[in-house]
Structures are given as structure tokens and as C-alpha cells.
Amino acid sequence: MPGILLGDVFPNFEADTTAGKIKFHDFLGDSWGILFSHPADFTPVCTTELARAAKLKDEFKKRGVKMIALSIDNVEDHKKWSKDVMAYANEGDSSLPYPIIADEKRELAVQLGMLDPDERNKAGQPLTARCVFVIGPDKKLKLSILYPATTGRNFDEILRVIDSLQLTAQKKVATPVDWKPGDKVMVIPSLPDSEATALFPKGVATKELPSGKKYLRTTQI
């Protein structure tokens, strides 16, 4: 089945959007990027999601992340629906702060494995699922999450994941369960104690475990 795996270079596709025709890698430039698909315009859950994303535009910008949405609707429908989205966000006087891709022929949806076989339009064609792709400055896929049409996404969680991705891209650490910025992080197991001590001047704490293995090491960044 077509799709894309973590670490793959994200396709440099061309597409029509509400901001005109784009070539994806040129759109990203040297930035991080997030591409998120939705099943259909003028539908309730999708409206709440894109409105929430719009309200978080400054949070994504602060992290150097360019935003772009996608569905199988056409550009004109995207533009009309965008007004509903911004009205729901209580920002009716503003334009949607990111473009929406019009994948009318479902070419990208098939290429990226985004179709939901259980959700279909009136013609019986499958709709796009609620996919999230986070792409790094190297144009490689760093994260993918796939939600069914019935479940709206948590964009605060998506921001948390981006914080983790950006931190762990720079430091030899991993983030534990429920981590949020400012919390302690885990020292990666492959890093020797001698290097860990040098890299993390705030100290490294090792948890004593019944196995006697010294793999649970935490530090403060």
C-alpha cells in the first residue's frame, strides 16, 4: 500500500492551493513543516480542527514550523469554507493563516496513504483521513499520526511532539511519557556515562532498578 515511512524524504509534489500553485520543498524552504489532512470541507469536526490550528499559528511560527492543510475538495470550496473556519475561531475579519491543498484527483492522498476506506462521499469515493505529517528542515518525515474521521486531533499534543522532535534533534536525549518543555529528559542509552557527564553539566541521575541495569538516566536541559 502506498505511503511514507519515518526517515523517508517527503515527496516534492506540486499542488494547487488556496495560496496558488506550490512546489512542496520550495514552500518549506529551510523550515520545519506540518501537513495535516481532513476528510471534507463544510463538515463540523474539520471546522473545529482547522480553527484550532489557526488560533495556534503564532505557536507554530515560534517553533519555525510552516503549516499546510489538505483535502480532496477544490480550491474554491476551500476558500469559501475558510471563512466559516475563521468565524468559528472568532477571527472572522482575518484570513486563514495557512494554505489548503486541493487534492481533487486524490493523487497525494493515495501516494501518502491518507485515504480512509470507512469514510466515503456521496459518490462512494473514500475521503482523506485525519493525517498529520511533521517534516524536518532536511525534508525527511519525522512524525506521522493517522486518526479516523470520527476523532478530532489534539493540536496541543502536536505542538508538544514538535517540541520533543526539535529538542531531540539537537541533544542526545529522549523525552519520557507525558513530557512537556521544562521537564527532565532521558539520556539516550547509547551515550556512555563519561560523555553524559560532560554533555549535561546540570548532572545525570541514574535510577536504581531491580535488574541492576543502569539504563534509566535523567537530566535537566
Could you list the active site residues?
Answer: 46
Considering only the C-alpha atoms of the chain, give the largest distance between any 2 of them, rounded to a whole number of Å: 63
User: Quick one: 158 exposed, middle or buried, by C-beta within 10 A (0-12, 13-18, 19+)?
Assistant: buried
Distance of CA 11 to the CA centre of its chain: 16
What ranges in 124-182 are assigned the alpha helix state H?
155-170
> Is 35:70 a contact under the CB 8 Å cutoff?
yes
Helix-helix angle 44-55:155-170, to 10 degrees: 50
Which is nearest to 173 in space by CA: 128, 127, 216, 124? 216
176-179, Cβ contacts within 8 angstroms, sequence gap of 24 or more: 176/218
